Amino acid sequence: MALVGGGPALLVHGGAGRVETSGWDDRVAGVVRARDAAWALLEQGATALEAVLEAVRRLEDDPLFNAGTGAALNRDGFAELDAAVMDGEDLGFGAVAAVRDVKNPVLLAAEVLRSEHVLLVGEGASRFARDRGIPACDPGELVTERQRRRWSLARRRALEERSGTVGAVALDAAGRLAAATSTGGMVDQRVGRVGDTPLPGAGTYAEARLGAVSATGHGEYFARALAAYRAASALRNATPERAVRTALETVARLGGAGGLILVDAQGRLAWHHTTPEMSVAWRTQVDVGAQIAPGA
């Protein structure tokens, strides 16, 4: 789907996958809360980067979503978190991966963005968090009973519900673009597995005069396709809707599925998914809405 832009624009997703219909309303409400908090910042003159960080932080704190508190559990039964943020103005990128003791990994990724690094992982990322004044949390605080049940079902190969990464893209009043993405990965994934989220151009990308993109889905395929960069790059010759579809077509040819959200430099929004559902919420100067809809 695509929306005509103009002026500040914001688009938030709560992951693409399969969710029981009984949970649709709660997930839509969650992405709406994240959208509204981020939009309030934009109205106050905040940057696109500040807005996407706020939206994703809110989703990390919502146990319904696979990020931060309530993230998927790996093979050993604990959460390993990945997050990334990208500033389109200077191609600044910051990311963390396989973090076990940080409540809001997207805020840690923002600290990496402000440092000399691009990506920090595991224990090194945790030490960096302490150096930057981000307190450690007990890894058990990230585990919810819902994800414990999903982990148990996955180990018995009986899990049908799937949901993924969260993210946000924004254009601010000054024309700056930014994207942020956060995930707990896949249920029962191998310890140390890293998907597309913290890889520049794979799950997260933003570039001035083009657009900002956040991805959700089976990360290995999005990483191989450089899906986020592929969508942004396609904006040189295609509409936003065609750009996200082009990137997802490449992912599908590799055997993967998922979704993409995008805002271009004119404030036009687009999203598409090849999974059963994806929850999104958006706002521009002229339109506001939210949905969780069947895939194409």
Q: What is the pLDDT of residues 109-130, one digit of tens each?
A: 999 999 999 999 999 999 999 9
Q: Strand 269-273 and strand 258-264: pairing?
A: antiparallel
pLDDT for the residue 293? 65
Mean pLDDT, rounded, of the chain: 90
The answer to whether the beta carbons of residues 206 and 92 sit under 8 Å apart is: no
pLDDT for the residue 7? 75
Residue 179: pLDDT band by 50, 70, 90 thresholds?
very high
Residue 277: pLDDT band by 50, 70, 90 thresholds?
confident
Q: What is the pLDDT of residues 61-90, one digit of tens each?
A: 999 999 999 898 988 888 999 999 999 999
Mean pLDDT of 185-211: 95
Inform me whether the pLDDT recorded for 3 exceeds 90: no
pLDDT for the residue 161? 47
Catalytic residue among 69, 165, 246, 275, which? 165
pLDDT for the residue 183? 96
Q: Which CATH class is domain 2-294?
A: alpha beta
pLDDT for the residue 159? 47
Residue-wise burial string across 103-122, b where 16 or more C-beta atoms lie within 10 A, e elsewhere: bbbbbbbbbbbeeebebbbe
Q: What is the pLDDT of residues 241-262, one digit of tens each?
A: 999 999 999 999 999 999 999 9
pTM of the model: 0.92
Our answer to whether residue 165 is catalytic in this structure is: yes
pLDDT for the residue 296? 45
Inform me whether the pLDDT recorded for 164 exceeds 90: no
Q: Strand 92-99 and strand 81-87: pairing?
A: antiparallel
